[in-house]
Amino acid sequence: MKKILMILSLVAISEMALAQHSTGDMNLNVGLGLLSNLKTGDTAVPPVGASFEYGIKDEISVGGYLGFTSSEFFNNKYSYTIIGLRGSYHYDLLGNPKIDTYGGVMLGYYILSVDNSAVTTANSVYYGGFIGGRYAFSDNMGAFAEIGYGVSILQLGANLKF
């Protein structure tokens, strides 16, 4: 019985050692947004976004974000762009080495351009939070999903790990 418990303990420790996110990891997420929160009228360009992050510690990564969408309303075209810096905390929520779960915050700049209107641009500081997860199909490719306040409420897409 002691041997079985010892073997199970070693297996559990080795599973925990397989970190989903490590110091020096570089990840690129590219995705399509659903449920846009930056929209006036009919969607002209669906929300698209890309984020890059670099692991500065096993649980912490920093990086950037770029998101874009546009819509049309009463002969005006609205273009929304978000450029920001992100910080994420990665945690082992599910105990599966192929799954990386994380949450974080973003601080950036929000740019609104309006064509055919008296107001041509409106810019402001932008902040938001997000939670997400990645599933690795291989060492370098996977899929991701994020929920948060960015160019859309839900973003789904591909992940590349360098």
pLDDT at 16: 37
Strands (DSSP E) contained in 18-116 are 26-34, 42-55, 60-73, 76-91, 99-115
pLDDT at 61: 97
pLDDT at 6: 42
The one-character DSSP state at 14 is H
pLDDT at 17: 37
pLDDT at 13: 37
Q: What angle do CA 107, 112, 144 make, to 5 degrees?
A: 50
pLDDT at 52: 97
Provide the whole-model pTM.
0.80
CA distance 6 to 64: 43
Structure tokens at 96: 């599966």
pLDDT at 114: 87
CA distance 50 to 38: 16
The per-residue pLDDT string of the chain (162 residues; one tens digit each, 9 = 90 and over) reads 445 434 433 333 333 334 466 788 999 999 999 888 776 778 888 999 999 999 999 899 999 999 999 988 888 888 999 999 999 999 988 889 899 999 999 999 989 888 876 666 778 998 989 999 999 999 999 999 999 978 889 999 999 999
